[in-house]
Structure 1
Amino acid sequence: MKHQAIAPEPHPPAAEFSLRLSSTPRGARLARTLAVQQLTEWCDIPYDSDSARTVALVTAELASNAITHGHLSGRDFRLTLLLLPHALRIEVTDTRPERLPPQPPPAPGPTDAGSGRGLLLIDAYANRWGCTVRDAYTKTVWAEVTFPEGYGGGGGRR
């Protein structure tokens, strides 16, 4: 199973990007855009590639879950990107540590037609994902997306 509730720390990243964003739909859209922009800058992966689209989808779902299920009024979420040797680790930290993602994510039923697929998408597109609670105030849901051969932490510019 790809999901891990508590995961070992990733290898030391080749590069790191971190930014607080508003817990709004606009903040989630910005997270998606910034993740793809950072990926293309770090790794020379084309903006319209499958890898970039996967990073966009996974980031959008993590950010959407943070603003939908992890939001407290007046509190932002944090997007952190870590460039690993052969993957991009996407971390979204929100302010609701008591609301952990289900393990494994349930398949949506017929009454969930418009929602409930976010974690299933993350599970399908990310190589690994999980959730880490490090303190009483936040939780981080993370996912790792691997790159095609020739790209990644050692193959692109930084």
Structure 2
Amino acid sequence: MNLSEKFFRRERRSVPAARQFAHAYLAEWGLAGTERGADVLLCVSELATNALVHGVPPGRQFRLLLRCDGYSLRVEVHDSGGGVPRVDTHPRDTDEGGRGLLLVAALAD
């Protein structure tokens, strides 16, 4: 089993840094450049953004964990916020956000 994790600071540049980190391991595991790899990177971006916006208190970090066993790839983002993730299944057209977890739910198995 391949396992990789990294902590990221509470700052905007952590989202692209998390994507770069995930891309490097996807490449190592032979998944970069595939349609599924692109789905994984989008999920990493959405989950990292949610952690920064909703879950990481000032001065804290979030953790990105990638686990690949040759059959499945697991992506986890952990933060120290007290909230519980919720998928808004009916966001309004005028809402500026609220679609990130909906995308993750659609792309993840």
TM beyond 0.5:
yes
Q: Could you say which residue in structure 2 is the equivalent of 1:40?
A: 27
Specify every segment of 5 or more residues in structure 2 that has no aligned partner in the other structure, as ranges. Answer: none
Q: TM-score scaled by structure 2? A: 0.92
> Equivalents in 2 of 1:106, 1:84: separation in Å?
31
> Equivalents in 1 of 2:79, 2:36: separation in Å?
25
Q: Could you say which residue in structure 1 is the equivalent of 2:15?
A: 28
The C-alpha deviation readout for 1:81-108, integer Å capped at 9, x for no partner, is 1112411111111011x21012x43321
The C-alpha deviation readout for 1:26-79, integer Å capped at 9, x for no partner, is 11111111112101102x22x322122111100001100000000200001111
Give the share of equivalent positions with the same residue, in percent: 36
Q: Does 2:77 align with 1:92?
A: yes
The size of the alignment, in residue pairs, is 109
Q: Which amino acid aligns with 1:107?
A: H
Task: Give matches, 1:67-106, under 5 Å.
Answer: 67-96=52-81, 98-102=82-86, 104-106=87-89
> Equivalents in 2 of 1:90, 1:40: separation in Å?
15
RMSD: 1.3
Q: TM-score scaled by structure 1? A: 0.65
The C-alpha deviation readout for 1:86-131, integer Å capped at 9, x for no partner, is 11111111011x21012x433211221x21110110011010xxxx
Please say which structure displays the higher CA radius of gyration.
Answer: 1
